[in-house]
Chains A and B, each alone.
Chain A
Amino acid sequence: MADEVNAPQVKEPWRLSLDSWAVVIALLAALLVRTGVFKHIPW
C-alpha cells in the first residue's frame, strides 16, 4: 500500500539571496556616507 503525499503546490515567492541583500545594504550605506547623511563613523 503506497502512501500518497498530497501537498498543495506553493509557488515560492521571488526573494533576494543573502548575498544580494548584503550588496544592496552595503551600497545603500555607501550612498548615505557619500551624500553626507552619515558624516563620521567612529571606530
Chain B
Amino acid sequence: MADAVVIPQVQPVQPALRFLRIIPGVLLLAAIGFAGKLLEQNVGKYAKAHHWIFPNIEYVLWAILLGLVISNTIGVPEIFRAGVATYEFWLKAGIVLLGSRFLLGDILKLGGVSLVLVAIEITGAIAFMTFLGRVFHLKPKLTSLLAVGSAVCGVSAIIAAQGAIEADEEDSSFSIAAILALGALALFAFPLIGHTLHLGDRAYGIWAGLAVDNTAEATAAGALYSDAAGKLAVLVKSTRNAMIGFVVLAYAIYWASQGQAKTVRNKAAFLWQKFPKFVLGFLLISVLATYQFFNKEQVGALANLSRWAFLLTFAGVGLRTNFRDMRKQGLRPFAVGAIGEVVIAAFTLGLVVVAEKLFGI
C-alpha cells in the first residue's frame, strides 16, 4: 500500500481578520513617513538656528533612511510584516491619484516620446543582460528573469515571468534580491549623478523612470530630485510597466518552443492578466482632470492624497530593504545585475540626452 500524505484543508483567512492583521504595519508605515516629514521640517530649522551647515534632506530620504535603519538593526517584528507589505498598494493608489496632475495632452506627448525610449531601453537591456548571463555562465532561466527584471519593472515582472516560463523559486529569489539591492543603490546614486551632471528636472525624471527597475524605487529616486522629476519618473515608469505583458509573453513563447514551459493558449487573456491595472486608473483620473471633472481645489486635494500614499510607500521601501538577506543570495547573479544596471543606466542617460537635443523633451 502506498503511503498517503493527507494535507488538511487550509481554512481561508477571514477578510476581517486579514484587515486587522495589516493595521499595525500600516500604522508603522504612517508613523515612519510622518516622522520623515517632521524631520524635514525641523532638522533644517534647528541646524540653521545653531549655525550648522546641514544639507536640506527631504521627507522622502528621511522616510527611507528611518525604514532602512529599523530593518537593518532591530528588524521588522512579525506583527508589522503584513501591513508593511502593503506599501505596493499605497504606491499604486498614489500613482492613480497622481493622474489628476497630468493633462491628457501632456501624457500623449510625453508618453509618445517615452514609449519610443522605453522600446529602445527594453530591447537594449534584454540583449545586454542575455549576453552577460552567457558570459557569466548563469542558468538560462535565471538570465531570463534578470533580463525581464532589469528591462521592464523589477520585482513584479520577475514574479510574472517566473510563473510563465516555469523558472525555479531559487532563480526567482536570486533575481528579486539582485534587483532590490541594485534599486536601493540607485536610490542614492541617481540623484547624486543627476546633480553632478546638472540634469534638468525633465531629463532626470525620464532617466530615472527608464533606468531604475522597481516602481517604488523609481518613484522615490525621482521625488528625491524634485517634484517635477518625480512626476515624470512615474509617467515613464508606468509606460515601462505597461509593457510587462508583451515581454513576459515573448519569453513564455520562447521557453514553450524549447519544450520547457507550457504553451500560452489565449494570448489576449494572458496580456490582460499581466497588464498593470493601475496604469488604466492613472489614465482615467487624468482624463477626468483634463475634462475638468475636478476643480482646482479638488485637484490639489487629490495631489496631496497621492503624496500621503507615496509617503507610506517610501517608508515601506526602507523597511523591506535588508542588506543581510541580500548578501545571502550569492555574488554572481548580483554581479551580472550590477554590471547590467550600470551599462543600462549609462545607455539610457545617453538616450535621454540625445532625445533632449533632438526632440526637446
Residues of A within 8 A of B (CB): 1-8, 10, 13, 17-23, 25-27, 29-30, 33-34, 38-43
> Does residue B170 face the partner (Cβ distance < 8 Å to A)?
no
**Min C-beta distance of A43 to chain B, whole Å:** 4
Q: Are B301 and A40 in contact (CB under 8 A)?
A: yes
**Min C-beta distance of B356 to chain A, whole Å:** 31
Distance between Cα atoms of A10 and B56 in the complex (Å): 55
**Among candidates A4, A23, A33, residue contacting B298 with C-beta atoms closer than 8 Å:** A33
**Min C-beta distance of B36 to chain A, whole Å:** 13
**Among candidates A2, A8, A41, residue contacting B305 with C-beta atoms closer than 8 Å:** A41
Query: Considering the complex of A and B, which 8 residue pairs feature the smallest CB-CB distances, nearest first?
Result: A22-B92, A23-B281, A26-B96, A41-B304, A41-B301, A19-B277, A7-B7, A43-B304
Residues of B within 8 A of A (CB): 2-7, 9-10, 12, 88-94, 96-97, 100, 276-278, 280-281, 284-285, 288, 293-294, 297-298, 300-302, 304-305, 307-308
Distance between Cα atoms of A33 and B297 in the complex (Å): 9
Q: Are B277 and A17 in contact (CB under 8 A)?
A: yes
With contacts A10-B10, A19-B278 taken as known, whether A27 is within 8 angstroms of B4 at the C-beta atoms is: no
Which B residues are in CB contact (< 8 Å) with A17?
277
Q: Are B276 and A30 in contact (CB under 8 A)?
A: no
With contacts A10-B10, A42-B304, A43-B304 taken as known, whether A22 is within 8 angstroms of B278 at the C-beta atoms is: yes
Q: Are A4 and B280 in contact (CB under 8 A)?
A: no
